[in-house]
Amino acid sequence: MSGSTDRNAGKGVAETEKLGDSVRAVDRALEILLAFTAADCELTVGQLLKRVDLSRPTLYRLLYTLEQRGFVVSEGDPQKFRLGPSVGQLAHVWTSSQDLAALAAPLMQRLREQTGETVALFVLEGGDRLCIAELPSAQPLSFKRGIGYRERISVGASGRAILANIGADGEDRRRYAAERGLDIARPVEDLDMVKQRGYAVSKDELIQGAVAIAAPFFDRSGQVAGSLGVFGPGARLPAERIQAFGEMLVREAAELSRTLGKREES
């Protein structure tokens, strides 16, 4: 009886160790996949070794397995690896399952509770921004535009927060604007300053007496996808509150970007 118990115990230990090895292999494979970024979409084995804590034989073994399942592909001499079609399939499934308004709901609720003002979520559609979610202020004097409201991104804080972050520089921005007939020759705010500060501000621009503050959010590829805005009457929004709300929006928009899969910049 004792011998049988010892054999069973030994078998259990072996199975536990085997499971542990499998989990470590999965963790290492995921570490390899996460080593790729939008800026470094092709990596050699040497470059991967600098990003993952693996021996060369282990890295090759895992890369071979990932390539067999379509998660990486390789070509060239020296051999370079990049993410494969299986990653794209998973990304498509994940993207299709996302409801942006639902994802943003908790942070929009936080913003309304913290500011007491109307909070709205906009997405970029060509040269326009479209409101897809809004939480109106409960205060008697307030401003709201409503779900479905559409406006050019060249006007208003929620538009300029997006426009300022189009492309990598001002030339990309000007090209984008020209292709869509946007007038950015005389912006109310300097767009480079908006990008550097992280949020845009408008006063009495689209609605007399209204102040808007908005910050951009980004998709998993790092491209600007829309903006998150707070709207209220100028009487309740002096300069210090505008700055405080702008900083809140930057934090919450960054959280939304992370939720959408945007990688942190190193």
Q: What is the CATH number of the domain that holds 29?
A: 1.10.10.10
85-99, 127-141, 158-172: least confidently modelled range: 85-99
pTM: 0.65
Question: Span 105-125, mean pLDDT?
Answer: 95
Between 121 and 16, whose confidence is greater? 121
Q: What is the CATH number of the domain that holds 154?
A: 3.30.450.40
**Interatomic CA distance for residues 253 and 257, integer angstroms:** 6
Q: How confident is the model at residue 13 (pLDDT cuts 50, 70, 90)?
A: very low
Element (H, E) at 228: strand 224-233
Q: Which residue has the tokens 């409201």?
A: 149
User: Do 125 and 85 belong to one domain?
Assistant: no
Question: Span 69-81, mean pLDDT?
Answer: 92
User: Do 89 and 118 belong to one domain?
Assistant: no
Note whether residue 178 is domain-resident: yes
What is the count of structural domains for the chain?
2
Average pLDDT, the chain: 87
The boundaries of the domain holding residue 60 are: 2-93
User: Do 88 and 136 belong to one domain?
Assistant: no
**Domain stop point among 65, 93, 121:** 93
Q: Is the pLDDT of residue 22 over 80?
A: no
User: Do 59 and 130 belong to one domain?
Assistant: no
Note whether residue 264 is domain-resident: no
Q: Is the pLDDT of residue 14 over 70?
A: no
Handedness of CA 171, 176, 179, 181 (dihedral sign): negative
Note whether residue 138 is domain-resident: yes
Note whether residue 265 is domain-resident: no
Query: Tens digits of per-residue pLDDT, 77-89?
Result: 889 999 998 888 7
Amino acid at 37: T
Return all residues near 74 (Cβ < 8 A) that are at least 6 apart. Answer: 63, 67, 80, 81, 82
**Domain stop point among 33, 64, 93:** 93
Query: Which pLDDT value is given to residue 178?
Result: 85
Residue 35 backbone zone (phi > 0: left; psi -120 to 50: alpha; other: beta): alpha
Query: Tens digits of per-residue pLDDT, 178-191?
Result: 888 887 776 667 88
Q: What are phi and psi of 123, to 5 degrees?
A: -115, 155
Closest CA to 44 of 57, 63, 25: 63
**Domain stop point among 69, 93, 117:** 93
Query: Tens digits of per-residue pLDDT, 150-180?
Result: 999 988 999 999 999 998 888 888 888 888 8
